[in-house]
Amino acid sequence: MFNLNLFAIHSMYIYRISLICIFYVKGDIDTIINLAPALKFNGGGHINHTIFWQNLSPNGGKPSDALTKAVEKDFGSWENMKNQLANSSVAVQGSGWGWLGYNKQMKKLQIATCQNQDPLQATTGLVPLFGIDVWEHAYYLQYKNVRADYVKAIFDVANWNDVSARFEKALK
Binding residues for Fe ion, rule: CB under 5 A, are: 133, 135, 138
Least Å distance between CB 55 and Fe ion? 12
Least Å distance between CB 95 and Fe ion? 8
- How far apart are the C-alpha atoms of 24 and 27, rounded to whole Å? 5
Least Å distance between CB 137 and Fe ion? 5
- Sign of the CA dihedral running 25, 26, 32, 33: positive
Q: Which is nearer to Fe ion, 10 or 152 (CB)?
A: 10
Q: Which is nearer to Fe ion, 49 or 166 (CB)?
A: 49
Burial class of residue 126 in the structure, from the number of CB atoms within 10 Å of its CB (0-12 exposed, 13-18 middle, 19+ buried): buried
Least Å distance between CB 68 and Fe ion? 28
Q: Which is nearer to Fe ion, 41 or 75 (CB)?
A: 41
Element (H, E) at 71: helix 65-75
Q: Name the residue number minimizing CB distance to Fe ion.
A: 133
Angstrom CA distances, 50 to 60, 68, 72, stand at: 16, 24, 27
What are the residues facing 115 on neighbouring strands? 96
Q: Which is nearer to Fe ion, 23 or 53 (CB)?
A: 53
